[in-house]
């Protein structure tokens, strides 16, 4: 099983030293410290329970430096829902105890042993098979797949009951295990890619040593692949990846087929036929052609990352206004998988921290098109690239620039990149939510920057939107280079709105030192606003009333004209 990077979670300053020792074992792991209690952690969290549950749900292995009971109670509500689970360990703050709690099949005992060895204590291993044999037979290393977990459990209890075992095929990872081996044993561990029905006395393990080359033209690829494997006598679990010509990289069919078969898709330069393509990708393998597919069988598990290349990916993401809780989970997952991160330095820093293997490309805020093209060049090499925006990437941000760069390009490699735009909470919505619901009815979103459009069009739109009695949300309201524009904009709005119209000013919303201010159009002056401010101007129906805890609620009712009977 491939182990993803664990998270080290600590509750108090006293645990930091132990956490750092554990981090030396997993250099890409981050130490998450409770905000206000821990100083010097890699990142901080507000709420222990929510943080732990989120990590668990994202399949992140968890090393929690606290009482086992706290971890158990925190994760308990999630336990029944889950089949496979990440490794979860509790480690004593002072490093004196290492307790594997969950994720036996996720390699928790392996981690417990590693950590215990580093801390020079004994791991609290409680799994009988593991204690006796020094390895979990049901959790073969990456590159191998267990045929059947239930049969496997019975097999292990047979061995625990005293039966001996012989090994058929190559199982190098068992060389160190203390198995009761006997060449005459009835029970066997069988390692091989041939399809077979496991007998009751057999633990079947398949090496992922087979690749199948397919064409995007082929109908019902998953079925065709399964049928071809069956015909060739190869077990499906031995399938390590699909291969295809790089000219077919953008095929949705191929992508879906790989997804359905649960294997990666790797691309190789197109050849005269699929057999030749498979040979190019895997020169050492035995190639056979079946039903319009080519099957490549190797002796050893395949190192898929070394075969051909993967389809590059480019995600344009929105971080939301700043606070981690306001970032959508899809964006968090994307940040974790990225190899390269591009964006304006402030936003890249906001999106971090990143692992050492993730490359950060920080650029100036104004070089949008250059950044978009740079992103495509990287993604076309097969990398997993992120372009970062604050708020939503489609709102006065990078998504449109990235699409424009693609639209202008005739490079098929750029068009083959898997492009996805992941939304975020835009500043107007984050600000509106804090104030109440000032955008509760029809509203108009505008950038007051005349960097990329003539000022005359801004005046025209302002005039018409104000006349149409839309609530208004102003992005980029003012800057040092544009000092007078906001004042002029407010004059235009004031021609259509009363001085009592509510105005919301949100500054650095969702970031440290955020401020929210409710005022009126009559009282608003440009010096109250800077480039980190969101300006929301109400419509004729927008109203305010006092909040019990001080300040005011602002909202625009859903209705317009006659108030409906309720
Ligand atoms: N894509 C971003 C907007 C980029 S334009 C989004 O969807 O939010 C930049 C402008 O957005 C700033 O000048 C400011 O007006 C506003 N803005 C961005 N983040 C903000 C925040 N956290 N608080 C208040 N305004 C913000």
With vertex at residue 265, the alpha carbon angle to CA 264 and CA 267, rounded to the nearest 5 degrees, is: 145
How does the average pLDDT of the chain come out, rounded?
A: 92
386 HSE (CA, 13 A, CB side)? 30
User: pLDDT tens, 203-213?
Assistant: 999 999 999 99
Give the pair of three-digit tokens for residue 24. 């030396």
How far is ligand 1, taken at its centre, from the CA of residue 390, in Å?
7
Domain presence at residue 563: no
- Ligand 1 atom closest to the CA of 479, numbered from 1: 13
Residue 484: give its domain's CATH number: 3.30.950.10
Cis peptide leading into 514, omega within 30 of 0? no
Mutate which of 475, 504, 511 for ligand 1? The one with the most ligand atoms within 8 Å of its CB, which is 475
Ligand 1 atom showing the smallest separation from residue 322 Cα = 22
Tokens of 449: 């920057």
Q: Cα(85)–Cα(405) distance, rounded to whole angstroms? A: 41
Write the DSSP string, 403-422: HHHHHH---HHHHHSEEEEE
Distance (angstroms) between ligand 1 centre and the Cα of 499 equals: 25
Higher pLDDT, 390 or 323: 390
Which CATH number covers residue 362?
3.40.1010.10
Instruction: Provide the strand spans (E) within 231-319.
Output: 239-245, 265-268, 286-290, 293-297, 313-318
Spatial CB neighbours of 531, under 8 Å, sequence gap ≥ 6: 476, 477, 478, 479
| 94 assigned to some structural domain | yes
User: In the chain, what is the greatest distance between 2 CA atoms, to the nearest angstrom?
Assistant: 97
Per-residue pLDDT tens digits for 247-262: 999 999 999 999 999 9
Task: Report pLDDT digits (tens) over 176-203.
Answer: 888 888 999 999 999 999 998 877 789 9
Measured in Å, residue 404 CA sits from the centre of ligand 1 at 22
Q: What is the pLDDT of residues 94-109, one digit of tens each?
A: 999 999 999 877 788 8
- Give residue 144 CA to ligand 1 midpoint distance, Å: 49
Q: How far is the CA of 427 from the centre of ligand 1 (A)?
A: 5
Residue 223's domain is classified under what CATH number? 3.30.420
Residue 134 has pLDDT above 80, yes or no: no
What residues contact 65, with CB distance under 8 A and at least 6 apart?
8, 9, 10, 11, 15, 18, 19, 90, 91, 92, 93
Confidence band, pLDDT 50/70/90 cuts, at residue 83 = low
pLDDT beyond 50 at 2: no
| 177 shares a domain with 118 | no
Atom of ligand 1 nearest to the CA of 424: 7
Same domain, 384 and 492: no
pLDDT of 433 > 60? The answer is yes
Counting from 1 in the atom list of ligand 1, the atom nearest the Cα of 506 is 24
Mean per-residue pLDDT for 281-287?
Answer: 95
Does residue 15 sit in the same domain as residue 112?
A: yes
Query: Hunting for tokens 């600590």 — which residue is that?
Result: 10
Residue 329 Cα, ligand 1 centroid: separation in angstroms?
A: 20
DSSP state, 360? E
Which pLDDT score, from 0 to 100, does residue 1 have?
37
Whether the Cβ atoms of residue 472 and residue 439 lie closer than 8 Å to each other? no
For residues 170 and 509, which has the higher predicted lDDT (pLDDT)? 509
| Segment 347-352 mean pLDDT | 89
Q: From CA 359, how far away is CA 463, in angstroms rounded?
A: 46
DSSP one-letter code for 174: G
Asked if residue 561 belongs to a domain, the reply is no
Selection from 32, 26, 24 nearest residue 8 by Cα: 32
The whole-number average pLDDT for the span 269-282 is 94
The CATH number of residue 30's host domain is 3.40.50.11220
State how far the Cα of 443 lies from the Cα of 431, in Å rounded to an integer: 14
Are 87 and 193 members of one domain? no
Strand pairing of 165-168 and 515-520?
unpaired
Cα 362 to ligand 1 centre (Å):
19
Residue 327 covered by a domain: yes
- Asked if residues 99 and 126 have their Cβ atoms less than 8 Å apart, the reply is no
Cα–Cα distances (Å) from 151 to 89, 101, 114, 147, in that order, read 27, 23, 28, 8
Check residue 137 and give its pLDDT.
81
Q: Is 370 a member of any domain?
A: yes
Q: Two tokens at 79?
A: 């336990």
> Is residue 566 in a domain?
no
User: Above 70 in pLDDT, residue 68?
Assistant: yes
Least confident of 80-84, 225-229, 307-311: 80-84
pLDDT at 291 exceeding the cut of 50: yes
Rounded to the nearest 10 degrees, the angle between the axes of helix 48-57 and helix 68-79 is: 50
> 440 alpha carbon to ligand 1 midpoint, in Å?
19
Which atom of ligand 1 lies at the shortest distance from residue 511's CA? Answer: 22
The percentage of the chain sitting over the pLDDT mark of 90, rounded to a whole number, equals 77
Work out the average pLDDT over 275-285.
Answer: 95
Instruction: Give the pLDDT of residue 379.
Output: 96
Which residue's CA is the nearest one to ligand 1's atom 12?
A: 476
Which amino acid residue places its CA nearest to atom 9 of ligand 1? Answer: 476
Domain boundary residue, one of 190, 207, 224: 207
Which residue do the tokens 């100083």 mark? 39
Q: Write out residues with Cβ below 6 Å of ligand 1.
A: 321-322, 389-392, 395-397, 426-427, 431, 475-477, 506-511, 531-534
Last residue of a domain, one of 306, 329, 345: 306
Question: Quick one: average pLDDT of 75-100?
Answer: 88
60, pLDDT greater than 50? yes
The atom of ligand 1 lying closest to the CA of 535 is 15
Whether residue 489 is found in the same domain as residue 542? yes
Q: State mean pLDDT over 522-540.
A: 97
Among 389, 407, 425, the domain boundary falls at: 425
Inter-CA distances, 292 with 125, 230, 237, 249, 280, Å: 50, 14, 21, 19, 17
Q: Is residue 404 domain-shared with residue 456, that is, in the same domain? A: no
Q: Which of 363, 379, 383, 380 is nearest to 371 (CA)?
A: 363
- Span from the CA of 388 to the centroid of ligand 1 (angstroms): 13
Residue 310 has pLDDT above 70, yes or no: yes
What is the pLDDT averaged over residues 11-27?
93
Protein residue closest via CA to atom 20 of ligand 1: 427
Confidence of residue 82 (pLDDT cuts 50, 70, 90): low
CA of 167 to the centre of ligand 1 (A): 63
Predicted confidence (pLDDT) at residue 81 exceeds the cutoff of 70: no
The rounded distance, in Å, linking the Cα atoms of 216 and 244 is 8
Mean pLDDT confidence for 86-91? 95
Our count of domains for the chain comes to 5
Q: Which atom of ligand 1 is nearest to the CA of 427?
A: 8
pLDDT at position 27, please? 82
122, 11: one domain: yes
Q: Is the dihedral of CA 213, 218, 223, 224 positive or negative?
A: negative
Indicate which atom in ligand 1 lies nearest the CA of residue 392: 7
- Residue span of the structural domain in which 393 resides: 313-425
The pLDDT assigned to 42 comes to: 87
Asked whether residue 3 carries a pLDDT value surpassing 90, the answer given is: no
Same domain, 77 and 122: yes
In this structure, the answer to whether residues 480 and 412 fall within a common structural domain is no
In a domain, 137, yes or no: no
Quickly count: other Cβ atoms within 10 Å of residue 117's Cβ: 13
Residues 216 and 277 in one domain: yes
């Amino acid at each position: 099983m491939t182990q993803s990077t664990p998270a080290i979670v600590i509750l108090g300053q006293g645990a930091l030293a132990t956490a750092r020792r554990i981090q030396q074992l997993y250099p890409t792991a981050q130490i998450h410290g409770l905000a206000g209690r821990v100083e010097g952690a890699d990142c901080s969290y507000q709420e222990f329970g929510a943080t732990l549950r989120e990590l668990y749900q994202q399949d992140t292995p968890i090393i929690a430096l606290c009482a086992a009971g706290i971890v158990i109670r925190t994760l308990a509500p999630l336990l029944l829902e889950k089949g496979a689970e990440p490794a979860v360990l509790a480690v004593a703050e002072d490093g004196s105890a290492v307790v594997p709690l969950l994720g036996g099949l996720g390699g928790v005992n392996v981690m417990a042993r590693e950590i215990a060895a580093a801390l020079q204590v004994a791991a609290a291993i409680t799994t009988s098979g593991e204690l006796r044999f020094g390895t979990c037979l049901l959790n073969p290393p990456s590159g191998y797949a267990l045929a059947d977990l239930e049969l496997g459990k019975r097999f292990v209890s047979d061995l625990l009951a005293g039966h001996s075992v012989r090994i058929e095929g190559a199982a190098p990872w068992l060389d160190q295990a203390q198995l009761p081996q006997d060449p005459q044993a009835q029970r066997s561990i069988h390692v091989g890619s041939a399809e077979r029905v496991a007998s009751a006395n057999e633990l079947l393990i398949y090496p992922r040593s087979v690749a199948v080359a397919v064409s995007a033209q082929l109908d019902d690829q998953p079925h065709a692949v399964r049928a071809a494997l069956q015909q060739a006598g190869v077990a499906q679990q031995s399938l390590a990846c699909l291969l295809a010509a790089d000219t077919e990289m953008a095929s949705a069919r191929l992508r879906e087929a790989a997804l359905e078969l649960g294997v990666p898709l790797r691309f190789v330069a197109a050849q005269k036929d699929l057999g030749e393509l498979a040979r190019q990708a895997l020169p050492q393998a035995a190639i056979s052609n079946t039903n319009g597919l080519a099957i490549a069988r190797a002796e050893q598990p395949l190192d898929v990352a070394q075969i051909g290349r993967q389809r590059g990916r480019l995600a344009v993401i929105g971080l939301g206004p700043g606070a981690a809780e306001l970032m959508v989970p899809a964006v968090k997952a994307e940040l974790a998988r990225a190899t390269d991160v591009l964006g304006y330095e402030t936003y890249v820093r906001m999106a971090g921290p990143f692992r050492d293997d993730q490359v950060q490309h920080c650029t100036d805020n104004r070089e949008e098109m250059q950044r978009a093209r740079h992103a495509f060049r990287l993604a076309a090499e097969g990398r997993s690239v992120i372009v970062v925006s604050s708020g939503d990437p489609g709102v006065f941000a990078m998504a449109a620039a990235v699409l424009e760069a693609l639209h202008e390009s005739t490079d098929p490699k750029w068009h083959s990149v898997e492009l996805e735009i992941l939304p975020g909470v835009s500043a107007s919505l984050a600000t509106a939510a804090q104030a109440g619901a000032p955008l509760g009815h029809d509203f108009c979103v505008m950038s007051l920057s005349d960097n990329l459009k003539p000022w005359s069009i801004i005046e025209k739109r302002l005039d018409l939107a104000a006349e149409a009695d839309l609530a208004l949300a102003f992005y980029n309201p003012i800057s040092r280079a544009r000092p007078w524009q906001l004042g002029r904009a407010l004059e235009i709005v004031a021609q259509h709105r009363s001085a009592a119209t509510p105005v919301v000013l949100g500054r650095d919303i969702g970031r440290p030192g955020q401020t929210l201010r409710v005022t009126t159009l009559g009282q608003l002056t440009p010096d109250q606003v800077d480039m980190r401010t969101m300006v929301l101007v109400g419509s004729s129906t927008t109203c305010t009333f006092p909040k019990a805890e001080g300040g005011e609620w602002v909202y625009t009712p859903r209705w317009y004209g006659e108030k409906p009977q309720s």
